[in-house]
Amino acid sequence: MQEAYLLDHPGVKKKILHGGQGPLPHFPKGTKLVFHFQTLLDNFERTVIDDSRKNKRPTEIFVGKMFKMEVWEVLLTSMRIGEVAEFWCDAIHTGLYPMVSKGMRLAAQGKDPLEGQTHTCGMGNLFHYHSTGFPELDELMRTPQPLIFIMELISVGDPLSYQRESWMMEKDEKLKVVPSLHLLGNALVKQGRFREAAEKYQEAVVLLRTVQSREMPGDEDYINLDRLIIPLVLNYCQCMLELEEYYEVIEHTTELLDKHKDCVKAYYKRAKAYAAVWSEREAKRDFQMVANLDITLSRLVQRELSLLSERMKEKYWEDKERYWKILEDREKEPETEDISEMDAKEESRGEHSQSPEEVKDAEEGKNPSLAEENKLDTKSEESAAEANHRITALTEGKDWQQMLRLIMLLQDEGNFNVKEHKYTEATAKFKEALEYVDHLQTKVSLLNENTVKD
């Protein structure tokens, strides 16, 4: 078929390569278009820049949703389902193609499609030039030129035939969906399906925050949206408490309290989460805030504090017994191991014993290997002395009960750092706890030796 200019769209020529099926579809706003495309340079070689068939899935756009390559919507809405057509587009239509291509390439690699872009509108990103990371796209950004697009329209989706994502909804649509999500979340909670309920509450919060981001902070609409968000976040946190995801609760309630200092329910839920992860001081502080903000909850707070105190006592004795068991198990190791180790050390000393002549040579530097061994021995002695000094500084003025308490505390802090992916800090906490354990074990060994002698 001969090339023909598309009516009302200057700078675009179309050539049908394979006819489609049926009549031309209707394309109302929100229609999903699924298609494959190839992008070629308008040169003698017709160099292929992009080919969507190399990706795992075809490309999708939605009619009327401000896709950066606006001309693609024009091209695709001129096609029938199953049709393959070649389009020549003038440079006035292809200026944004390098950015679009980069985004699709990054998305195909599982990366953020907006990586490297600054937050500007329309053509702004072109004038704020950065390398795309792809030489052929950088060249198109420097010198915009006509491009050829070969398109195959695979399917046309009715706007009502699929669940629309939040970014496709208008403001009024989002506000209408939120109450339904809230009620659905409540119904799921009653059924004990807390994970699914949390997802519904979270979806509603995302919709409201998207709408809120377009409002001016402090305006009436902004404040009203904030009031709608608070109960949804609290419901989400309650689900997380039920699912025992306590650090998730702490994170979201803290974020809420940064904006709303007098939110009693947020303090209460955070206190429950802190209590569950053995953060006694923080839990008591939040429970006290609940009582201060709402005096009618004083009895509830007293019950919670009593329960927390009992749980902390139980944990203290459980941890104490556990650590004493560790010490006892170490004490029960066969004494023969100690003897064999001593024999091995004596043999090692015998093998490496030096004659007076060798010692003299080492001192005068005539025997480098022996001199090096002496240096290593000196270093090991110095490091041992440093370790002993550190342990003495750590344990000075502390009795065994205080040390056991510190061991438990360090273990909790280490576990918390692991959950926060702070592995360096966690290692330091566990190492310090082990130093206390080793010190207590040494004390028990000495005590047993003295008892045997007596």
Distance CA 70, CA 94 (A): 9
Six-digit token string for 42:
């308008």
Closest to 11 measured CA to CA, from 141, 151, 147: 147
Q: Token match 């802090």: residue?
A: 413
Tokens of 79: 């096609």
With tokens 């045997």, the residue in question is 452
- Between the alpha carbon of residue 313 and those of residues 277, 308, 309, 320, 436, the distances in Å are 14, 9, 6, 10, 21
Token pair recorded at residue 233? 């976040």
Question: Are the C-beta atoms of residues 1 and 85 closer than 8 Å to each other?
Answer: no
Distance CA 416, CA 400 (A): 24
Residue pair 287/303 in contact (Cβ under 8 Å)? The answer is no
Pair 93, 32: CB distance under 8 Å:
no
Pairwise CA distance, residues 302 & 307, whole Å: 9
β-pairing, 147-157 vs 32-41, is antiparallel
Query: pLDDT tens across 388-413, in order?
Result: 555 566 666 666 667 777 777 777 77
Kindly state the tokens that stand for 225.
């949206």
The angle at the Cα of 372, spanning 371 to 376, to the nearest 5 degrees, equals 120
Report the alpha-carbon distance of residue 273 to residue 253 in Å, rounded: 10
List the helix and strand counts (H, then E) for the chain: 16, 7
Q: Which of 360, 439, 362 is nearest to 395 (CA)?
A: 439
Predicted pLDDT of residue 97 = 92
Per-residue pLDDT in tens (0 to 9) along the chain, 454 residues: 456 666 578 899 999 999 888 888 888 887 889 999 999 999 999 999 999 998 878 998 888 875 678 899 999 999 999 999 999 999 999 989 998 898 888 877 766 555 554 444 444 444 444 677 889 999 998 889 999 999 999 999 876 555 555 545 667 777 888 898 999 999 999 999 999 999 999 989 988 888 888 788 888 888 888 899 999 999 999 999 999 999 999 999 999 999 899 999 999 999 999 998 888 889 999 999 999 999 999 899 999 988 888 888 877 777 767 767 666 666 665 554 554 555 555 555 554 445 555 545 545 554 555 455 555 555 555 555 555 555 566 666 666 667 777 777 777 777 777 777 777 777 888 888 888 777 777 776 666 565 545 5
d(C-alpha 411, C-alpha 413), whole Å: 5
CA distances from 169 to 63, 173, 212, 403, 454 (A): 13, 6, 14, 59, 85
Q: At what angle do helices 298-331 and 280-293 cross, to 10 degrees?
A: 180
**How far apart are the C-alpha atoms of 356 and 370, rounded to whole Å?**
12
DSSP characters for 69-111?
-HHHHHHHTT--BT-EEEEEE-GGGTTTHHHHHHHHHHHHTTS
CA dihedral 268, 405, 332, 346 (to 10 degrees): 130
pTM: 0.46
Q: Around Cβ 401, how many Cβ atoms within 10 Å?
A: 10
Burial grade of 271 (CB within 10 A; 0-12, 13-18, 19 or more): buried
Per residue in 74-116, pLDDT (tens digit) is 999 999 999 999 999 999 999 899 988 988 888 777 665 555 5
Beta bridge pairs of residue 40: 48, 148
pLDDT tens, 199-212?
999 989 988 888 88
